[in-house]
Structure 1
Amino acid sequence: MLITFTRSRFCIAPLDVIKIRLQLQIHSLSDPTSIRGIDGPVYKGTLGTLKQILREEGLTGLWKGNIPAEAMYLMYGAIQFSAYTHASHALNDLPSPYKLPDSANSFISGALAGACATTTTYPLDLLRTRFAAQGKDRVYFSILSSVRQIATTEGLPGFFRGLGAGVSQIVPYMGLFFAGYEALKPVLSKDVVPLPFGSSDAVSGVVASVLAKTAVYPLDTTRKRLQVQGPTRSQYVHRNIPLYKGVISTVGRIWKNEGRRGMYRGLTVSLMKAAPASAVTMWTYERTMGVLTSMDEKLKEV
């Protein structure tokens, strides 16, 4: 399973790089005055960004930041589902007067699991973003050197820049995702809408992911802008990334200067990446839980 997950993550890595480049681009394509004098690339859409990265940085440019991303997703998935299962069971075991509705149970369990996994793996997420933000002029030359450089110049807080935006995003995202998934799964089950090979789990994961991701996407853009703050801010592929401080202030400045488009840059490619990943994740999760439950029942019989 880990090998399959690693291969799938490797395949979607270029989409991650494209999304991050678009999110960090502050100049508006509809306003020519914002492009004049820009020392850096001007990306236009998913396909245009792909072509430009290939032309200027070569094929390897599409896999920048993939190593910390691989480590992050492996750790994140393990922590997320472990926390979700424990939280869900704990809430289900509450006595009658305090028992929550299933939708509230799913939302709270998902939110807690997301916050726990995000905080634990955040330094890897930050490294992924910074490597993906590098152009032809490299800021960091290896994972080890990047860790040393951040630790020396920014200290421990440097590894957690934008964590507030990350948690603010992931708590409602995971809550909405799991609540939506648990609500959709029975509707799309074989008794209501026949789907082959248990694919109702996959379809429910796709729909829940698209809805939740779209709802909280501005906070994802905010997180990316905050992650590249620090002494190396002007050395990334976009040389004109402003100085941001705080989640609310950053959201306000992006909305004021770039409007709704600025908040949602890269959403299309983000959904292209997240939807199939959610489908595979939830299908695999349900199959794995089914096997483990069956094994547990057989052991109890023995």
Structure 2
Amino acid sequence: MSRGGEHLKDEGSKTQVVTAGAIAGLIARFVIAPLDVVKIRLQLQTHSLSDPLSHQDLRGSPIYKGTLPTLKHILREEGITGLWKGNVPAELMYVAYSAIQFTTYRSVTLGLQGIFEDHQLPAAAESFIAGASAGAMSTTATYPLDLLRTRFAAQGTERIYSSLAASIHDIARNEGPKGFFQGLGAGVGQIIPYMGIFFATYETLRRPMGNLQLPFGSGDATAGVLASLVSKTAVFPLDLIRKRLQVQGPTRLKYVHKNIPVYKGVFKTMQSILQKEGTRGLYRGLTVSLFKAAPASAVTMWTYERVLRIMMDMEMAANGP
């Protein structure tokens, strides 16, 4: 709904917002699952492709060079299902994450609007605070599922966990509760600026672009793509560090990359990567991450807006004129 061309952030009931957010996350996750697996494989690859490699350096690890070759490698070695490894915990994570994200964003925004009734708070600041709060809340709540997604996606032909239930039991028994939250510091440290920058950029671009009829999509979707590209690039090193920390533990040497070093803590991990792999090491998988971020954000925001509008129209029709 709009009034005088201006988007109202409090549109839709809480149930409608939760449902629309969940559906948007579910659809977006399935679409970009193969790119997500490729990104994780590249992020966990520690050896530099520009340096001479010995058998000892690789220890049986595959060599991935770029997005398409990595896709072909996975298809050849693991089959089509290899591109959707970790999709079950990822789907659960995306549904819960999206629902919590949109709900928190809506609640914080309404709270800020209630505090600053005279609209003294700039729109960009409002969007940043709401986005950062939503990101921190949803990241923390769904982090165990994120860790499981990474571990399943990192599995090669050797099966480490037989099922989702088995993985939860194995981690709880061998690593304890903290095993489900390895790398959480990097996750929260990443998501706060990411979501703040994303929502601030999205809200800034959505209004002037919202009514544009573009040949490759709606203005809302395009604003989502641009906002995602900017924010994803800004925080990518923390995303990579999070992945490296998530595969630490007793199963570390069993993943497709069998030469993953031991990492402890966000700053020590960053220091180790810089020393051994250089600055480029912090950006492994950035290209495919940007390719993934664009359709994921576009599908998420486009689906959310449309599903919410459909539910609101159905409610109006049911209530009559």
The normalised TM-score by structure 2 is 0.86
Q: 1:16 aligns with which of 33, 36, 40?
A: 36
**Structure 1 residues 138-149: aligned runs within 5 Å:** 138-149=159-170
Question: Matched residues, percent identical?
Answer: 61
Structure 1 residues 46-83: Cα deviation after superposition (integer angstroms, max 9, x where no partner) = 11111111222222221111110111101111110000
Give the whole-Å Cα distance in 2 for the aligned partners of 1:204 and 1:229: 37
Q: Is the 8 A contact 1:28 1:35 kept in 2?
A: no
- Structure 1 residue 285, shift from structure 2 partner: 2.6
Match of 2:49, SS state, is coil
Aligned Cα root-mean-square deviation (Å): 2.5
Structure 1 residues 125-171: Cα deviation after superposition (integer angstroms, max 9, x where no partner) = 00000011111111111111110000001000000000000000011
Give the whole-Å Cα distance in 2 for the aligned partners of 1:165 and 1:35: 32
Alignment CA distance shift 1:3-1:200 (3 Å): closer
Map of 2:295 onto structure 1: 276
Supply the AA of the counterpart residue of 1:246: G
**Structure 1 residues 10-89: aligned runs within 5 Å:** 10-33=30-53, 37-39=57-59, 40-89=61-110
Structure 1 range deviating more: 22-31 or 99-108: 99-108
Is it true that 1:206 corresponds to 2:222 in the alignment?
Answer: no
**Structure 1 residues 143-292: aligned runs within 5 Å:** 143-190=164-211, 193-195=212-214, 199-290=218-309
**Structure 1 residues 95-106: aligned runs within 5 Å:** 95=116, 99-106=120-127
- Structure 1 residue 194, shift from structure 2 partner: 4.7
Structure 1 range deviating more: 194-203 or 223-232: 194-203
Give the whole-Å Cα distance in 2 for the aligned partners of 1:298 and 1:94: 34
Give the whole-Å Cα distance in 2 for the aligned partners of 1:198 and 1:285: 15
Supply the AA of the counterpart residue of 2:185: G
Supply the AA of the counterpart residue of 1:11: V
Give the whole-Å Cα distance in 1 for the aligned partners of 2:233 and 2:28: 23
- Structure 1 residue 262, shift from structure 2 partner: 1.0
Q: Give the structure, 1 or 2, with the largest relative contact order (CA under 8 Å, sep 6 or more).
A: 2
Q: Is the 8 A contact 2:113 2:119 kept in 1?
A: no
Q: Is the 8 A contact 1:22 1:266 kept in 2?
A: yes
Give the whole-Å Cα distance in 1 for the aligned partners of 2:305 and 2:31: 23
Structure 1 residues 20-41: Cα deviation after superposition (integer angstroms, max 9, x where no partner) = 0000000000011467541211
Give the whole-Å Cα distance in 1 for the aligned partners of 2:23 and 2:106: 23
Alignment CA distance shift 1:126-1:186 (3 Å): same
Supply the AA of the counterpart residue of 1:13: A
Alignment CA distance shift 1:95-1:269 (3 Å): closer
Structure 2 unmatched ranges of 5 or more: 1-19
- Structure 1 residue 289, shift from structure 2 partner: 4.5
Supply the AA of the counterpart residue of 1:83: T
Alignment CA distance shift 1:263-1:195 (3 Å): same
Alignment CA distance shift 1:145-1:26 (3 Å): same
- Structure 1 residue 6, shift from structure 2 partner: 3.9
Match of 1:286, SS state, is helix
- Structure 1 residue 98, shift from structure 2 partner: 8.8
Structure 1 range deviating more: 289-298 or 19-28: 289-298
Supply the AA of the counterpart residue of 1:108: I
Alignment CA distance shift 1:27-1:204 (3 Å): same
Give the whole-Å Cα distance in 2 for the aligned partners of 1:69 and 1:48: 24
Match of 1:229, SS state, is coil
Alignment CA distance shift 1:30-1:36 (3 Å): farther
Q: Is the 8 A contact 2:24 2:300 kept in 1?
A: no
Give the whole-Å Cα distance in 2 for the aligned partners of 1:177 and 1:222: 20
